[in-house]
Amino acid sequence: MKEPRGWAINHHKDAINRRLYERLIIVETAIHRVSCLNRTVLRCLGWATPTHLLFRGTRLLFRGTRLLFRGMRLLFRGMRLLFRGTRLLFRGTRLLFRGMRLLFRGTRLLFRGTRLLFRGTRLLFRGTHLLFRGMHLLFRGTHLLFRGMHLLIL
């Protein structure tokens, strides 16, 4: 089965996004461990916890970055589907116009055929009229022939 056009590029993009996502998880896990260790050490020493807030902010920043990448990936997927839909819409419109053109051509040929049918019918009636006229003249000639023979016999 032939792969769709652009499949390899999208496959590589998805692989890169997966690797970025995995790296973000590793970094986030490391930050969490350090923040837990710092919190424990700072509490034991009795220090305030602004560092903990910094690490929490950093963790939220990485989470936001991960969500941003996910959103961008979904945005690109949506754009790809939008372009595919637009391409299919244009293809459908082109086929619709082709169908309409063929319909008009067929209608024109139908009218031409109807006109030829009426012309043929008119010629048929004219031919029938001439045939009956010829038969009438034939019978009239036969009648005159018999009349002439009758006069000859008398």
pTM over 0.75: no
CA atoms within 13 A on the CB side of 121: 6
Tens of pLDDT along 68-117?
888 898 998 999 999 999 999 999 999 999 999 999 999 999 999 999 99
φ, ψ for residue 48, nearest 5 deg = -70, 170
Q: How far apart are CA 65 and CA 83, in angstroms?
A: 27
Tens of pLDDT along 15-58?
556 555 555 566 666 666 666 655 555 555 555 456 666 777 78
